[in-house]
Amino acid sequence: MLEIKVKLQEGVHQEFEFIEGKSNWIDLRTAERIKMNKGDFKLIPLGFALELPEGFEAHILPRSSTFKNYGIIQTNSMGIIDNAYSGNDDYWFFPAYALRDTIIEKGDRICQFRIVRQMEVVKVLFVNELQKQNRGGHGSTGVK
């Protein structure tokens, strides 16, 4: 089992909820009450720093209900945190853009993360031709 070290900011409660059998992502809660107006951008504090083991990275994404409940989207599509961002003050945030006025209460679950192995080093070879057959282009598998 992989062990991770977590440092909570003072006054923050973070449960790192892993719902066995339902998801292998860990839900994260906001560290403070957030008020956003339509068109606002905010780095929403999650209230913790985490020391990732060597060779691992974290992927952060919104929960499936985040947009429906709060009208916010994650601005960088997917957050990727490598193990170099593991210092005492390297606190995690959720970068959000509001599409409507919204209030997110302290402790609301707005995003989720998982820890994955980093990609191994890749050697790139430039060639004039590839050996496999063409598939037919973007969207070539059809709609039905």
Give tens-digit pLDDT for 25-79. Answer: 999 999 999 999 999 999 999 999 999 999 999 999 999 999 999 999 999 889 9
Nearest residue to 23 (alpha-carbon basis) of 53, 64, 52, 58: 64
pLDDT bin (cut points 50, 70, 90) of residue 22 is confident
pTM: 0.84
Q: In the beta sheet, which residues pair with residue 116?
A: 57
- Checking if the pLDDT of 20 tops 90, the result is no
Would you list the DSSP string of 74-122?
Answer: ETTSSEEEETTS-STT-EEEEEEEESS-EEE-TT-EEEEEEEEEPPPP-
Annotated domain spans of the chain: 5-117
Q: What is the pLDDT of residue 140?
A: 63
Q: What is the pLDDT of residue 139?
A: 66
Are 42 and 84 in contact by the 8 Å Cβ rule? The answer is: no
Question: Does the structural domain 5-117 have CATH classification 2.70.40.10?
Answer: yes
Q: Across residues 107-117, what is the average pLDDT?
A: 95
The reply to whether 40 belongs to the active site is: no
State which H helix or E strand residue 46 sits in.
strand 41-51
Q: Across residues 93-120, what is the average pLDDT?
A: 96
Cβ neighbors of 44 (< 8 A, separation 6 or more) are 30, 34, 93, 94, 95, 96, 104, 110
Residue 125, token pair as written in the block: 């070879």
Residue 72's CB is within 10 A of a number of other CB atoms, namely 26
Nearest residue to 2 (alpha-carbon basis) of 118, 121, 116: 116
* Catalytic annotation, pick one of 27, 82, 89, 108: 82
